[in-house]
């Protein structure tokens, strides 16, 4: 229970259906609060990272969740995951320093909501963990699989791909077959005090200028380097490759007769490669650290699917194959700005997740 309308209605629906419900709030940190997390991959001790202005799971959210639990008459627990959340921050930092594009929201679901929280639920004797995500759990011949939420504008299936079979078998998503207006309507019917509460932001622990956050935490990892074209010719200088992301256009600050975009970064050489828009097009990717739920594709055979590389990105017709833990995905049409570190999630025609992984390499069109 995050204190928002979605998880509150999820709890109320489960109670209405006869389940014994226990409310649980994950205490991650408040906006402006400092967390102690390792600096520089753990080699330089521990330092403070400040929660950004969009942070969620704050004290105010906990108060709202407690009010909902009291209205429903269910037990309510607050679990302190502040230190565990430090693992998410460390992951975010290390990915950027390695030249990749991280997705901390996916990792939070994998490691905390359906990892650490699931272990806590087992200690309480609970049979399942339920959340207010807009996704569904489908029972298939291959076992349970994640399916897109009915409300496509709110669909959150992408960020749940990595939770694994064990967590999926003990997962409930009560509002996944509803659209947001119906969820708010139910909140009013249940008399919940959060029925008109605005939607919360995704977890965000850094200010708008993430590079400043990284540099403040580890200034020694920022160094001047070259901005080069695709042929390796130097066009300008930068103050650290961490200031750039693949697909970026603004802020490159080199003279050119055509618009230039960041194509890739080389953290070893500390170079940023820029070029024209068409050079951003990617035809295929390779991913590791995979989770696969369906029989097709898991045995090395090629499977037709749609692939998604961003949480709310447009599905791309594709072909996928999983061999020795490496997921290869070939797009039917080029996709711009795909970067190592992003997650790729493959869906079947029924819009159920086949599986996914974390992109380690991209191949140009």
Angle at CA 167, nearest 5°, toward 26 and 156?
A: 70
24, 57, 108, 346: the active-site residue? 108
> Which residues contact residue 216 at a Cβ distance below 8 angstroms, ignoring those fewer than 6 apart?
none
Alpha carbon distance 230, 113 (integer Å): 42
Instruction: Respond yes or no: is residue 126 known to be catalytic.
Output: no
Q: Which of 154, 113, 159, 105 is nearest to 146 (CA)?
A: 159
Give the Cβ contact number of residue 43 at 10 Å: 7
Q: Cβ(305)–Cβ(285) under 8 Å?
A: no
Alpha carbon distance 365, 363 (integer Å): 7
Give the Cβ contact number of residue 349 at 10 Å: 8
Q: Which two tokens stand for residue 299?
A: 């045995």
- Ranges of beta strands (E only) in 134-231 are 135-140, 143-148, 171-172, 225-228
Q: Cβ(303)–Cβ(328) under 8 Å?
A: no
Q: Which two tokens stand for residue 102?
A: 């991280």
Q: Which of 163, 147, 66, 78 is nearest to 112 (CA)?
A: 163
**Phi, psi torsion values for 38, nearest 5 degrees:** -60, 145
Q: Cβ(315)–Cβ(271) under 8 Å?
A: no
Instruction: Respond yes or no: is residue 204 known to be catalytic.
Output: yes
List, by residue number, the catalytic residues: 108, 204
């Amino acid at each position: 229970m995050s204190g928002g309308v979605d998880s509150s209605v999820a709890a109320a629906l489960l109670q209405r259906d006869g389940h014994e419900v226990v409310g649980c709030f994950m205490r991650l940190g408040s906006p402006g609060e400092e967390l102690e997390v390792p600096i520089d991959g753990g080699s330089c001790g521990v330092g403070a990272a400040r929660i950004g202005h969009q942070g969620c799971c704050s004290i105010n959210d906990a108060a709202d969740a407690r009010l909902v639990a009291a209205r429903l008459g269910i037990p309510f627990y607050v679990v302190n995951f502040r230190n565990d959340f430090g693992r998410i921050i460390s992951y975010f930092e290390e990915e950027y320093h390695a030249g990749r594009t991280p997705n901390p929201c996916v990792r939070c679901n994998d490691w905390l909501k359906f990892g650490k929280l699931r272990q806590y639920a087992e200690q309480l004797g609970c049979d399942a963990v339920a959340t207010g995500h807009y996704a569904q759990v489908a029972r298939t011949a291959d076992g349970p699989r994640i399916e897109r939420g009915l409300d496509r504008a709110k669909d959150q299936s992408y960020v749940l791909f990595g939770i694994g079979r064990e967590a999926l078998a003990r997962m409930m998503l009560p509002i996944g077959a509803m659209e947001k207006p119906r969820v708010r309507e139910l909140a009013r019917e249940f008399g919940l005090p959060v029925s008109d509460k605005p939607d919360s932001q995704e977890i965000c622990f850094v200010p708008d200028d993430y590079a400043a956050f990284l540099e403040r935490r580890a200034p020694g990892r920022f160094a001047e380097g070259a901005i080069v074209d695709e042929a390796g010719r130097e066009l300008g200088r930068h103050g650290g490759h961490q200031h750039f992301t693949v697909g970026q256009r603004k802020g490159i600050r080199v003279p050119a007769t055509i618009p230039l975009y960041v194509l890739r970064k080389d953290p070893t050489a500390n170079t940023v490669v820029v070029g024209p828009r068409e050079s951003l097009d990617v035809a295929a990717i390779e991913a590791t650290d995979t989770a696969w739920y369906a029989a097709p594709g898991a045995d090395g055979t090629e499977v037709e699917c749609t692939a998604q590389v961003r949480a709310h990105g447009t599905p791309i017709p594709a072909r996928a194959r999983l061999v020795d833990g490496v997921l290869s995905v070939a797009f039917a049409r080029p996709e711009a700005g795909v970067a190592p570190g992003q997650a790729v999630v493959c869906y079947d025609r029924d819009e159920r997740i086949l599986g996914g992984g974390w992109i380690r390499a991209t191949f140009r069109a």
